[in-house]
C-alpha cells in the first residue's frame, strides 16, 4: 500500500476525524475572540470603572457614617464630662461653704445683706446731718461727761479693791 503523491486535498464533504474537528473548533473560537477581543476588552474596562466608582462611593459613605458616629460619641463624652465637672464643682463649693460656716465666716449673701444695711445707715446718717444746722464743735454734753466719770470711778474702785481682796484671802 503505497501512498500516491498526487492525493487530492480533503474537501468539506469528506468526513474528518474527531481530533481534527476539535482543532478546527479551537481555531474558530480563537478567530471569534480576536474579532470580538477589542469589544470585550472595552466592555471589561467600562465594567471595571463602574465597579471602582461604586466601591469608592460605598467607601465614602462608610467613612461619613463612621465620622458621624465618632462625632456623636465625642459630643456625648463631652457632655458627660461637663456634667461630671459641674457636679464636682458643686460638691467642692458646698464643702468649702460648710467649712467656712464652721469657722464663722460670713457667706456672700450675708455680706450683701451687711452692705445693704451699711448703705441704708449711711443714707440715714447723711439725712440726720443735713437736718441739723451746721454748728461749731461743742463741748461734750453733761451726760457724756457724767458717764465717762462714772466709768472711770468704777475702774479705779476695782483696781483699789483688788489688792484688798488679795490680802483678805491670804
DSSP 45-76: HHHHHHHHHHHHHHHHHHHHHHHHHHHHHHHH
28: region left, alpha or beta (phi > 0 left; psi from -120 to 50 alpha): alpha
Q: Coil, helix or strand for 13?
A: coil
In a domain, 167, yes or no: no
- Work out how many domains the chain is built from and give that number: 1
Nearest-angstrom CA–CA distance, 53 and 42 = 17
Beta carbons of 135 and 145 less than 8 angstroms apart: no
In a domain, 18, yes or no: no
Nearest-angstrom CA–CA distance, 51 and 45 = 10
How high is the pLDDT of residue 165?
Answer: 47
Beta carbons of 114 and 106 less than 8 angstroms apart: yes
Residues of the domain holding 97? 23-131
Instruction: Band the pLDDT of 54: cuts 50, 70, 90.
Output: very high
Nearest-angstrom CA–CA distance, 41 and 30 = 15
Q: Coil, helix or strand for 8?
A: coil
In a domain, 143, yes or no: no
How high is the pLDDT of residue 136?
Answer: 45
In a domain, 7, yes or no: no
Average pLDDT value for residue range 87-101: 90
Nearest-angstrom CA–CA distance, 80 and 87 = 11
In a domain, 61, yes or no: yes
In a domain, 17, yes or no: no
Instruction: Band the pLDDT of 152: cuts 50, 70, 90.
Output: low
pTM for the model stands at: 0.34
Beta carbons of 98 and 90 less than 8 angstroms apart: no
In a domain, 152, yes or no: no
* Residue position matching grid coordinates 467642692: 92
Specify the length of the chain in residues: 170
Instruction: Band the pLDDT of 169: cuts 50, 70, 90.
Output: very low
In a domain, 147, yes or no: no
Amino acid at each position: 500500500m503505497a501512498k500516491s503523491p498526487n492525493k487530492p486535498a480533503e474537501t468539506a464533504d469528506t468526513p474528518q476525524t474527531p481530533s481534527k474537528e476539535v482543532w478546527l473548533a479551537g481555531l474558530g473560537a480563537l478567530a471569534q475572540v480576536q474579532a470580538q477581543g477589542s469589544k470585550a476588552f472595552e466592555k471589561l474596562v467600562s465594567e471595571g470603572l463602574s465597579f471602582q466608582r461604586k466601591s469608592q462611593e460605598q467607601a465614602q459613605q462608610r467613612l461619613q457614617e463612621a465620622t458621624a458616629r465618632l462625632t456623636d460619641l465625642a459630643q456625648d463624652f463631652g457632655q458627660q464630662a461637663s456634667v461630671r465637672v459641674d457636679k464636682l464643682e458643686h460638691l467642692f463649693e458646698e464643702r468649702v461653704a460648710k467649712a467656712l460656716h464652721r469657722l464663722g465666716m460670713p457667706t456672700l449673701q450675708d455680706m450683701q445683706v451687711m452692705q445693704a444695711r451699711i448703705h441704708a445707715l449711711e443714707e440715714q446718717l447723711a439725712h440726720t446731718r443735713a437736718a441739723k444746722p451746721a454748728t461749731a464743735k461743742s463741748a461734750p454734753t453733761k451726760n457724756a461727761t457724767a458717764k465717762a466719770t462714772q466709768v472711770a470711778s468704777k475702774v479705779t474702785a476695782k483696781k483699789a479693791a483688788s489688792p484688798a481682796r488679795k490680802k483678805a484671802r491670804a
